[in-house]
Amino acid sequence: MKESGIKDGFKHYSCIMSLVSKAGLLDEALELIGQSPPGNNQAELWRTLLSAYVNARNLQMGLYAAKQILKLDPGDTTTHILLSNLYAVNGRWEDVVEMRKKIRGLASAKDPGLSWIDVKNNNTQVFYSGDQSNPEIITQAQDELHRLKSNMLCRSLSNEHDSFLIRFIYSD
């Protein structure tokens, strides 16, 4: 790349890290992290390496990689899931249980995703999954979903019927 005048960036390191890790060249992958430019994407490289350590069942190095990620992002749920998997492949079931408790705590601490819909007269309604605060809107939304589902089912049956007729006509 350097000979062609291409400046290596994070995406290059990420791709190479993925390839080297999948090839099982974990020492080389670890060296790549040290050679990569510092920045806010370091956690992604470490996460790729942690996943490879899980596949290799390398507990010691997996814990080291997880520690590096959690220094950068203590609430990273993906890392905790990978840690749980690392413990599981190494038969450390008590640690798996503890890690899953931690994951549940992290998941419940996150803000719910919100959605917005425009209703009549530019009236915007905000809601989240499981929101039951406005029964009228819920009923309207459910009715519309049922109507759409019925339309799709009718179209699907119609297409199957047309397909059957076409096959029947051309089978002679």
The contacts of residue 22 (CB under 8 Å, 6+ apart) are 52
Could you give the C-alpha distances from 124 to 117, 130, 133, 141, 142, in angstroms and in order? 6, 18, 15, 14, 17
pLDDT of residue 172: 45
| Cβ–Cβ < 8 Å for 44, 14 | yes
Q: Count Cβ atoms within 10 A of the Cβ of residue 7 and give its class: 0-12 exposed, 13-18 middle, 19 or more buried.
A: exposed
Q: What value does the mean pLDDT take over residues 125-141?
A: 74
pLDDT tens digits, one per residue of 79-121: 999 999 999 999 999 999 999 988 888 766 555 666 776 666 6
What are the structural domains of the chain? Answer: 2-109 (1.25.40.10), 114-170 (no CATH)
Q: Of the given ranges (10-19, 88-97, 159-168), which has the lowest mean pLDDT?
A: 159-168
